[in-house]
């Protein structure tokens, strides 16, 4: 059998990867001990507490959740349990992150007072804090409600007097606030912004979305959030000519404080200064159960299980240290890495990041084991995929009525198969900070998508599945434990896993190659083979490569090139006559972080926006291109080589677009040219 020229052997290898079960990277007794110890029920008990807190960065709710997890970590026997504190006041920078001051709320209510004798309370901070948009400031007003549609264009306000009134908007409140408040003098906003777009978008009219105002907005304001059902009721009354009067009261403020990052440790026995970091993000609205109490309690369950098994002697103390961290999303991770300095960050050999990992059937979530970016080729992603395939096998056997060795089942959870999908790099969480070119730390990212309740009042513990928490904890624990102990003795097994996973990627590549032609297809194949070579070479960060490993890899690469039909003489790289850039070491981190866009804040207002930022490729969009272009600046690659790499990853893009963005980065001193033209 053939599939568009791809040889049968590859398909056999890909579809028969279920045979991995007898060739796992960890001994069966270690895996059995892990499968018996990790508990989805224990994880969910911790989740139920975390979900009671409205966990904004630096807030009282975040502090309460961090202290709870710290107490649990200490009771589980972890060492060096510390809540690290980093000043945050809106002025201090950590790399490209302008620190966002903590935000706390004492009181917030919204009332419908159209009928003065019978007011109706619409929203209360005490009962549902997600009703108040993040970064709202104190204010008190009784005023008419005016519907301005999206509220993001001048046309939305034509013929409408909103001075001193409350405006009903369909957008996230941060988008219309500059026009509504700064320009037209509205007293505040009432938003019915809908959730992230998925197949279930707008189906549930009772969802209340988590709202956001700009942390650094010029004019202080506040915004309340409504469900679509509530907003439509107001719109019907307004359309009928009724005057709707609302009374809003808010006592809230941003204030100087600090980012809090809980950290705990299982020290290594031989290489304690080398760390495998388990990451999550603790901040989120209440309840925020799957996003991201689930990731927080799952890495805590990994820590508890490993610490207990080590104490009991069921597994050995790992050679490298295992570090567990609970920061605010993205901003806390960047702050911590910048504060560690180059030497501290370089001690992190890999990160295992969990963000939304417990979605049960009602969330419609699909669990992903997501690879790192092409700019950080690493075998650590293959390790995670390896264990995910094993859990897929075991859970599928259970669902099919079989009797698997390790069903990984919680008596409080579901029996569905896990069906973990291994997917290419996507952005959107702390893993992109670890992998960013300032650090280039290999990162495993485990996450659910879609989730129809993300960022809403319906993201509750009841929608989180204890069995899934157990299975994800097992994958994370097995991956981290293997990486913490890996040495040269593991090279044969690791090499086999890398070769297996490279065949999976080759099959995925085959589906893409027919979308491009000519030199772009040659470039796609060339960059793919270079990537696979770099993945195999990345093992040298954990073990000294030997002749056997190198020879097996060389033989595999030769066969893979033949299999893909790559002709090394069919064209060359893009013209090398292009500049070489290097990073400015004083500008650390990506251009877009939380609540602050470094590029936008520093790039001249009167300069044309670089076209790459809005470019849509075959497999990615502007933000992804921009992220990778900067990651690939290393003082060695030419702009043409960077173009070739991002074109193979996200789809063909012209060199002028890439160079234009690089020049824009040079304008704001993020990078600088070190050579005009290479020899």
pLDDT band at 576 (very low <50, low <70, confident <90, very high): low
CA distance 170 to 190: 9
pLDDT in tens, 56-67: 999 999 999 999
Q: Which of 264, 359, 263, 293 is nearest to 46 (CA)?
A: 293
CB 655 within 8 A of CB 625: no
Q: What is the pLDDT of residue 625?
A: 98
**What three-state secondary structure class fits 519?**
helix
Give the per-residue pLDDT at 567. 81
* Gap between the Cα atoms of 420 and 184, Å rounded: 50
Q: Output the pLDDT for position 16.
A: 41
The answer on pLDDT for 8 being more than 80 is no
Nearest-angstrom CA–CA distance, 293 and 274? 27
Which segment of 11-25, 361-375, 508-522, 610-624 scores lowest on mean pLDDT? 11-25
Tell me, what's the pLDDT at 23?
81
**Residue 616 banded pLDDT, cuts 50, 70, 90:** very high
- φ, ψ for residue 296, nearest 5 deg: -65, -45
Question: Packing angle between helix 655-667 and helix 639-650, nearest 10 degrees?
Answer: 120
Looking only at Cα atoms, what is the longest distance across the chain?
Answer: 86
Say yes or no to pLDDT of 82 above 80: yes
Percent of the chain with pLDDT over 70: 95
In this structure, the strands spanning 580-583 and 592-593 are unpaired
pLDDT for 398 beyond 60 = yes
pLDDT band at 675 (very low <50, low <70, confident <90, very high): low
CA nearest neighbour of 623 among 587, 672, 661, 586? 661
Cα(415)–Cα(396) distance, rounded to whole angstroms? 9
How would residue 388 be classed by pLDDT, with cut points 50, 70 and 90? very high
Residue 525, CB half-sphere, CA atoms under 13 Å: how many?
23
What is the arithmetic mean of pLDDT over 613-629? 97
Looking at residue 121, its pLDDT comes to: 98
- pLDDT grade, residue 11 (50/70/90)? very low
Distance of alpha carbon 200 from alpha carbon 453, whole angstroms: 9
Tokens 């069919």 correspond to what residue? Answer: 570
User: Is the pLDDT assigned to residue 4 strictly greater than 80?
Assistant: no
φ and ψ at 584, to 5 degrees?
A: -80, 115
Instruction: Provide the 3-class DSSP secondary structure of residue 674.
Output: strand
DSSP letters, 263-291, are EEEE--SSEEEEEEEEE----BSSS-III
List the single range of 479-493, 515-529, 561-575 with lowest mean pLDDT: 561-575
The pLDDT of residue 555 is above 60 = yes
198, two tokens: 């998925």
On the 0-12 / 13-18 / 19+ scale of CB atoms within 10 A, 362 is: middle
pLDDT range class, residue 647, cuts 50, 70, 90: very high
Provide the whole-model pTM.
0.94
CA atoms within 13 A on the CB side of 98: 15
Q: What pLDDT digit, counting tens, does each position of 186-211 carry?
A: 999 999 999 989 999 999 999 999 99
Mean pLDDT score, 361-367? 96
Q: What percent of the chain has pLDDT over 90?
A: 91
Spatial distance between the Cα atoms of 281 and 411, rounded to a whole number of angstroms: 27
Can you tell me whether residue 593 is helix, strand or coil?
strand
Residue 573 pLDDT: 60
Got the DSSP string for 291-346? IIIHHHHHHHHHHHHHHHHHHHTSSPPPSEEEEEEEPSTTHHHHHHHHHHHHHHHH
Q: What is the pLDDT of residue 521?
A: 94
Per-residue pLDDT, averaged over 36-46, amounts to 98
What's the mean pLDDT when you consider all of the chain?
A: 94
Q: What is the DSSP letter of 463?
A: G
Residue 677 has pLDDT above 50, yes or no: no
The predicted pLDDT at position 485 comes to 98
Cα torsion angle, 565, 571, 574, 577, sign: positive
- Residues comprising the chain, all counted: 679
Give the model's confidence band at 568: pLDDT under 50 very low, under 70 low, under 90 confident, else very high: confident
């Amino acid at each position: 059998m053939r599939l568009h020229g791809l040889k049968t052997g590859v398909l056999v290898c890909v579809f028969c990867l279920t045979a991995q079960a007898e060739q796992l990277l960890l001994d069966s007794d270690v895996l059995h001990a892990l499968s018996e110890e990790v508990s989805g029920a224990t994880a969910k008990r911790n989740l139920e507490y975390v979900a009671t807190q409205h966990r904004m960065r630096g807030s009282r709710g975040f502090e309460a959740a961090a202290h709870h997890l710290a107490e649990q970590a200490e009771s589980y026997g972890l060492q060096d349990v510390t809540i690290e504190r980093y000043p945050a006041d809106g002025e201090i920078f950590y790399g490209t992150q302008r620190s966002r001051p903590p935000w706390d709320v004492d009181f917030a209510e919204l009332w419908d007072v159209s009928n003065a004798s019978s007011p109706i309370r619409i929203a209360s901070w005490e009962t549902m804090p997600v009703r108040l948009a993040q970064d709202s400031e104190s204010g008190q007003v009784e005023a008419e409600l005016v519907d301005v549609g999206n509220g993001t264009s001048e046309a939305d306000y034509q013929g409408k007097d909103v001075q001193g009134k409350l405006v009903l908007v369909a957008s996230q409140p941060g988008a219309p606030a500059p026009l509504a408040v700064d320009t037209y003098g509205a007293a505040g906003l009432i938003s019915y912004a809908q959730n992230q777009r998925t197949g279930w978008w707008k189906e549930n009219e009772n969802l209340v979305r988590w709202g956001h105002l700009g942390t650094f907005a010029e004019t202080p304001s506040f915004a309340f959030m409504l469900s679509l059902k509530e907003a439509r009721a107001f719109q019907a009354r307004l359309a009928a000519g009724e005057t709707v009067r609302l009374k809003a009261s808010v006592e809230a403020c941003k204030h100087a404080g600090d980012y809090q990052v809980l950290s705990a440790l299982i020290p290594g026995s031989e290489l304690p200064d080398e760390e495998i970091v388990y990451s999550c993000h603790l901040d989120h609205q209440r309840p925020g159960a799957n996003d991201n109490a689930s990731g927080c309690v799952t890495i805590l369950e990994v820590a508890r299980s490993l610490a207990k098994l080590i104490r009991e002697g069921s597994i050995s103390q790992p050679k490298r240290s295992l570090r567990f961290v609970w920061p605010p999303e993205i901003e806390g991770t960047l702050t911590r890495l910048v504060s560690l300095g180059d030497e501290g960050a370089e001690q992190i050999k890999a990160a295992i990041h969990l963000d939304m990992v417990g979605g049960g059937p009602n969330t419609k979530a699909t669990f992903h084991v997501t690879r790192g970016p092409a700019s950080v080729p690493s075998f650590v992603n293959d390790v995670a995929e390896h264990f995910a395939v094993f859990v897929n096998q075991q859970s599928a056997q259970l669902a099919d009525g079989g009797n698997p060795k390790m069903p990984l089942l919680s008596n409080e959870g579901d029996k569905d198969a896990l069906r973990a999908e291994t997917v290419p790099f996507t952005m959107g969480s702390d893993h992109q900070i670890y992998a960013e070119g300032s650090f280039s730390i290999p990162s495993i990212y485990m996450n659910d998508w879609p989730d129809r309740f993300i960022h809403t009042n319906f993201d509750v513990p009841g929608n989180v599945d204890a069995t899934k928490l157990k299975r994800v904890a097992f994958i994370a624990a097995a991956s981290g434990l293997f990486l913490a102990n890996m040495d040269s003795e593991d090279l044969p097994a690791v090499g086999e896993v890398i070769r297996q996973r490279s065949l999976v990627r080759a099959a995925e590549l085959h589906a893409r190659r027919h979308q491009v032609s000519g030199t772009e297809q040659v470039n796609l194949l060339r960059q793919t083979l270079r990537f696979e070579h770099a993945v195999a070479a990345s093992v040298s960060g954990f073990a000294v490569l030997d002749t056997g490993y190198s020879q097996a890899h060389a033989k595999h690469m030769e066969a893979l090139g033949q299999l893909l039909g790559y002709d090394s003489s069919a064209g060359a790289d893009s013209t090398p006559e292009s500049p070489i850039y290097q990073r400015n070491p004083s500008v650390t981190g990506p251009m877009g972080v939380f609540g602050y866009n470094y590029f936008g804040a520093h790039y001249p207002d009167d300069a044309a926006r670089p076209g790459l930022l809005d470019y849509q490729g075959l497999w990615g969009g502007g933000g992804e291109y921009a992220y990778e272009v900067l990651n690939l600046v290393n003082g060695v690659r030419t702009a043409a080589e960077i173009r070739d790499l991002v074109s193979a990853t996200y789809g063909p893009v012209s060199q002028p677009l890439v160079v234009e963005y690089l020049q824009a980065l040079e304008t704001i001193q993020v990078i600088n040219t070190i050579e005009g033209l290479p020899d």
